[in-house]
Amino acid sequence: GRRISREPREQTQAVASYSNEGTQVKVEIHPKDTTPQLFKKLSFGKGPRRLPGPRQDSKGSQRSEAPRPPGGRDLHAYPWDKSSLKSMPVDLQQFEKLDAYALKVNVKNSVEELVKALLKQARTDLEKVRAIWMWICHHIEYDVVGYHNKSQLSSKPIDVLQTGKSICEGYAGLFEHMCSIAGIQCMKLSGYSKGYGYKMGQTFTGDSDHAWNAVYLDGRWHLLDSTWGSGAVDDSFTKFTFRYNEFYFLTHPALFINNHFPDNSNWQLLKPTLTLKDFENNMLHNSNFYMMGLLTAHPETAVIQTVNGKASVSVDCRSATLFTFKLKGTDEHGLMTLKKHGMKLEIYPQKTGSHKLQIFAKPSKASEEVYKCVLEYVVECKSVDKAMRFPKDLHQPVGPSWFTERQGFLRPSHPDPVILTNDGRCSVTFTLGKDISVLASLHSDNSSLTEDMRRRHIMQIHRGNQIELKIHLPHAGNFVLKIYAKKKSDPGNYDYIFNYLIACLNTEVKWPAFPQSYTKWAEDYEILEPLSGLLPANRNVQFKLKMPGIAKVLVQAENTYPLTQSRGYWEGTCNTSGCREVFVMVHENANHSFYSHVLKYEVETQ
């Protein structure tokens, strides 16, 4: 119970979880933007280590053989083969009835009576272990007072049962005793753990700080930690909260070693075994990482050095997962892109020094908006790349992905998150899913664009189910192209879908906005010329528009100029002298006597 398990939680905050392991407490911390303070490790006498003596099996006969030490058949390959989170096949659905039964058992007078009641619904050894595990994880709370005041603390199974409290030593002792009564071979193990108060890259010395168990099932040893399975302690270390964690039941040894290092290396149940140095250097992945279906993260070291102001992280996972990140509490200084099986993140810290980087994830099917912390790094930044300062409006993740595909944006012309343009113009195309209406706008930190002008620097062109977004930047710099969509049949608002970063270094760039269009400007209309919404004064200007199904088109300046139809386009010229505005108007069919405005151009002042 000395150290607390460090299981971060939802994005709300930095979270550390104390696990009552052996002598470890599982505590979770969620203060916003604060660094968890460290608690002194308290050391508790462990008492003599001995193998359990003769045990009673359920029929009442004596079984006197001592548990065999772990050997070849118990060992699992290291590193993890990505096959399973458990060390044996477990169907959690088959446990549903048993779990529900075990939670309801309420016997406090003797450990024997408790075990007898629990075993009524358990047939196999696995079911017996499961019933004992579920009962302990949901009925024994971490003793925060005892943790601070060990003289008052008893780890005897009957005391743990009757007070309903303990530290990791008591959890593991009660588990061992209950298994013994049930006729299951079980060992209490002790060692070092990466619990609360653990600092990345720290070394471990002195007495062990945690206790857990090994159980013998189907001819092999398996590992579990009921302290860390039960819940968490708050950041002030005064209040325990039950929060069940399935991960620590029969955990695959190649994953268990991530934060549990036994005194006796045989109990790693690994081939090859890891040295304490390996354990100290290895990246800590908390249980969220694996429960979320994540497989690997790169780099594998906890500390990342930037190269020319940049650091990169990637995560591989089994199925579509949503990610987000925080560098020193904000997501402004990076580019995160979602991949089909993971994500890629490029970080550009804008200050030198050490920065905490947290990666959060949630399954794509999860409706609730809770991202859980799955990874933590320290980014050491020696130099800053000022050119990679991103606009505040840039939203993570950036660029198209499986997620945008699900929203109906298929086959993007630009699969990468950043679009570079030298002349300030670019064009992005997609194939659109059925019944989708699109809205796009342009944002920049050093631009005083009004909401209307943000949209007027982008022109939509539809050809069948293709959409082209033609973009003319008002000046050089970094811009965010935000893309929104809704169902055409849906009268509601547009939903934000994704964004690109558009970068232009050419300071000569100064494109005017496109002409303003009105509601009668239909989706399949297209402007070939003039594209600029600002026309030169006292000039003849050539018009060429594609407007299928229209009876008549006029350009209204000081005078009115009809356009003529040829090869599918409406063409003609108009003179801009003597006027400040030019309108394009249409007769939608020959019977209409009135014209509708579809476009408006400004004319430069003299």
pTM: predicted TM-score of the whole model, two decimal places: 0.79
Say which residue the tokens 């950036």 belong to: 398
pLDDT-based confidence at 5, cuts 50/70/90? low
Residue 168: active-site member? yes
Residue 316: active-site member? no
506-522 pLDDT, tens digit per residue, is: 999 999 999 999 999 99
Give, as one character, the DSSP assignment of residue 524: T
In the predicted structure, residue 334 carries a pLDDT above the cut 80 = yes
The more confident residue out of 45 and 597 is 597
pLDDT-based confidence at 6, cuts 50/70/90? low
* Predicted local distance difference test score (pLDDT) of residue 392: 93
Among candidate residues 225, 317, 443, 472, the one labeled active-site is: 225
Give the whole-angstrom CA distance, residue 405 versus residue 37: 43
462-514 pLDDT, tens digit per residue, is: 999 999 999 999 999 999 999 999 999 988 899 999 999 999 999 999 999 99
pLDDT-based confidence at 437, cuts 50/70/90? very high
* Predicted local distance difference test score (pLDDT) of residue 8: 46
* Predicted local distance difference test score (pLDDT) of residue 148: 82
Pairing of the two strands 425-432 and 321-327: unpaired
Among candidate residues 168, 179, 373, 381, the one labeled active-site is: 168
* Predicted local distance difference test score (pLDDT) of residue 49: 36
- Written as one letter, the residue type at 15 is V
568-588 pLDDT, tens digit per residue, is: 999 999 999 999 999 999 988
* Predicted local distance difference test score (pLDDT) of residue 447: 72
In the predicted structure, residue 13 carries a pLDDT above the cut 70 = no
Domains of the chain: 74-279 (3.10.620.30), 291-381 (2.60.40.10), 402-504 (2.60.40.10), 516-603 (2.60.40.10)
543 — alpha (psi -120 to 50), left (phi > 0) or beta? Answer: beta
Furthest-apart CA atoms within the chain: distance in Å: 111
Contact, 523 vs 463, CB < 8 A? no
Give the whole-angstrom CA distance, residue 452 versus residue 447: 13
* Predicted local distance difference test score (pLDDT) of residue 229: 97
H-only helix segments in 253-323: 253-256, 276-281, 287-291
Give the whole-angstrom CA distance, residue 24 versus residue 168: 5
Residue 225: active-site member? yes
In the predicted structure, residue 564 carries a pLDDT above the cut 90 = yes
pLDDT-based confidence at 387, cuts 50/70/90? confident
In the predicted structure, residue 46 carries a pLDDT above the cut 50 = no
Report DSSP letters for 435-454, one per residue.
Answer: TEEEEEEEE-TT----HHHH
- Written as one letter, the residue type at 271 is K
In the predicted structure, residue 38 carries a pLDDT above the cut 50 = no
Among candidate residues 210, 252, 285, 472, the one labeled active-site is: 210
310-332 pLDDT, tens digit per residue, is: 999 999 999 899 999 999 999 99
In the predicted structure, residue 29 carries a pLDDT above the cut 50 = no
103 — alpha (psi -120 to 50), left (phi > 0) or beta? Answer: alpha
In the predicted model, what is the mean pLDDT of residues 68-88? 94
In the predicted model, what is the mean pLDDT of residues 397-421? 96
> How much of the chain exceeds pLDDT 70, in percent?
89
